[in-house]
Structure 1
Amino acid sequence: MFDRHALEKALLESKEAPRPRIAVPHALAIPALLQDTDMLSIVPQSLAVALTKRDDLVCRKLTYQTRTSTMRAIWHSRDEHETGHIWLREMVVQAARGTEKAFG
């Protein structure tokens, strides 16, 4: 979920050779993998903030520009007026607005 093209471009410009060590199927494994190592992980900013609530992890901005991503929600038209579905969509909108406020 990161801008691989921007990373590869930044590495080429810096003449640094990438040393990927591991890929994980989900983000929950990241804190345990980083513990007691010199490794880092590139994750979405909202996830980085959540993971750094642990005292031993830190978050830093990337040193290169990345593209922004657009996320869209879709659902079947039969659920358009269903009460529970409306509530869930409202919760997603509130969460997204909270992210915008937190990260600019």
Structure 2
Amino acid sequence: MRKAAEGIVPDHVLNRKKLGFPVPIRHWLKNEMNAWAKDIIKNSQTDEYINKAYVLDLLNEHCAGKADHSRKIWTVLIFMIWHSIYVERSIDPEQLNHQPKEVIFS
């Protein structure tokens, strides 16, 4: 693939180390997804596993720019959603597939 792109893609891009698929979670948790994240944390029924006050503190520190806790927060959020779907059964995963894209990604 790199050989086929020679002369088309700049050398500094073509020869750089392979990158993953970066997702701007750090930015999203500070902005567009902040209220959503707080809602997930507050409404999750994971109190026996997770100290929600601590997770909210991490989110607040993250938003204030004191530290980048995005990976920790994201991991906890995904666990909480998983718990809602498979343990609490309060979220129907089929409903998630039928949400309009602007609702899911806004």
Bucket of the pairwise TM-score, normalised by the shorter protein: under 0.3
**Looking at CA atoms only, which structure, 1 or 2, has the larger radius of gyration?**
2
Give the TM-score, by structure 1 length: 0.26
